[in-house]
Amino acid sequence: MAKGFPRKGGKIYAIYGNHPAEMAKKLLDAAKVIDAIPRDARISLKPNLVVARPASSGATTHPEILAGIIEYLFDHDRKNVDIIEGSWVGDDTIRAFQVAGMAEVGKRFGVKLHDLKGDSATPVDTPGGRVLVSDRALAADFLISLPVLKGHCQTRMTCALKNMKGCITDAEKRRFHRDGLDECIAALAAAIIPHVSVVDGICGDLDFEEGGNPVTADRMLLGADPVKLDAYVCSLMGLSPLQVGYIPLAEKYGAGEMGIGAGDIVELNRPLAATVLPRASGKVQSLSRNIKADQACSACHANLIHALHRLGGRTGASPIHIGQGWQGKQLAGIGIGRCCQGAAKRVPGCPPSALDIIEALRT
């Protein structure tokens, strides 16, 4: 394992935009990740390819994030890189590599891709029990996890911690569902902790890990502590980390720490200043019916959609204003974010988190 990189706590770096390769490089640069990677290290990139679908579905990691990270590593003379993943039970990882554009990235850079479904595995004992983990994943000197920020129909959300589920065999995945997902995901989180996670928050699905309702959020995050990252992502999605069973358990088992202190979130830029509305889907359109958006940044808009989703679509009768086009105007109804300070009822922040929006809309 690489030395000198804090695995617990630490800062979370955030960047907004829609150029994933450039954003990934800037995040790695800001966190000085290269300083923690020995020149001869075997570096494994672990995306989320739960199903054979493109990133635009909201299910899988954007391939250009991998491209940006590989370029960054190659530019720093770290050339021993591979891509590892095992799709969910019932899908074919090799097909997923192709459909999601990873095979093309591998070919472009001469990087090998490995399907972990057929890999040998070693039992790892943790405070949460024994977990069988892929030998190839365990053998990485530096493991970079690339989860997608998205919802999950059973666990509410999935991000850094649950992304490690691609590092076990299909038989072990089935056992997880038999023995209890929360306990097993938390144990796995303690068994294999990535050195760093780069979260794809470009357009994750609201509630299904297999995609279908992508919501444009145009952001990426980087952190070394997967528990802290998931806790922060919860706040962006309008959840308390205590509502996601495996997060406090993962902390209990030693995989990281949930606490987020003042100054822990380092934003490298501001949200995009252009209007980027969520892609059309019946669910998102339904949630958007009371929203009056005018030049809303995508991160701000996505947080509002997540909040309304968590509220079960209950938007009330008042219009909800959001966006830079409302700056300096007196508004009847609700205003989201710093730009809507002229609203009768407003949620501060730039962008405000989904959790803050929920609190305001509930009262």
Q: Which of 317, 267, 349 is nearest to 26 (CA)?
A: 267
351 near ligand SF4 (CB under 6 A): yes
In angstroms, give the least distance from the CB of 219 to ligand SF4: 11
Stretch binding ligand SF4 (CB under 6 A), from 108-116, 137-145, 237-245, 332-340: 332-340
Least gap, CB of 297 to ligand SF4 (angstroms): 3
Q: Does 335 bind ligand SF4 (CB under 6 A)?
A: no
Q: Does 300 bind ligand SF4 (CB under 6 A)?
A: yes
β-pair partners for 131? 124
Which is nearer to ligand SF4, 191 or 297 (by Cβ)?
297
Among 60, 197, 315, 324, binds ligand SF4 (CB under 6 A): 324
Task: Enumerate the β-bridge partners of residue 343.
Answer: 331
Taking CB under 6 A as the rule, does residue 274 contact ligand SF4? no
Which CB atom, from 344 or from 350, has the smaller least distance to ligand SF4? 350
201 binds ligand SF4 (CB under 6 A): no
Q: Can you list the positions of beta strands (E) in 73-128?
A: 81-85, 112-115, 121-126
CA 317 vs CA 4, 167, 259, 336: distances in Å: 53, 47, 36, 16
Q: How far apart are CA 69 and CA 210, in angstroms?
A: 24
Residue 271 interacts with ligand SF4 (CB under 6 A): yes or no:
yes
Q: Does 242 bind ligand SF4 (CB under 6 A)?
A: no
* Residue 297 in contact with ligand SF4, rule: CB under 6 A: yes
Residue whose Cβ sits closest to ligand SF4: 337
Q: Is 148 helix (H, G, I), strand (E, B) or coil?
A: strand
How many CB atoms sit inside 10 A of residue 133's CB? 23
From CA 361, how far away is CA 178, in angstroms rounded?
38
Whole-number minimum distance, CB 340 to ligand SF4, in Å?
7
Smallest separation (angstroms) from ligand SF4 to the CB of 299: 6
Q: Total binding residues for ligand SF4 by CB under 6 A? A: 12
CB of 349 to ligand SF4, least distance (A): 7
From the CB of 32, what's the least distance to ligand SF4, in Å?
27
β-partners of residue 292 are 321
- Should residue 323 be labelled a site residue for ligand SF4 when binding is judged by CB under 6 A? yes
Cα separation, 280 vs 313, in Å, equals 16
All residues at 6 or more sequence positions from 118 whose CB lies less than 8 Å from its CB, including other chains: none
Cα separation of 359 and 28, whole Å? 34
Q: Could you give the maximum distance between any two Cα atoms of the chain, in Å?
A: 63
Which residues of the chain form contacts with ligand SF4 (CB under 6 A)?
271, 296-297, 299-300, 323-324, 337-339, 350-351
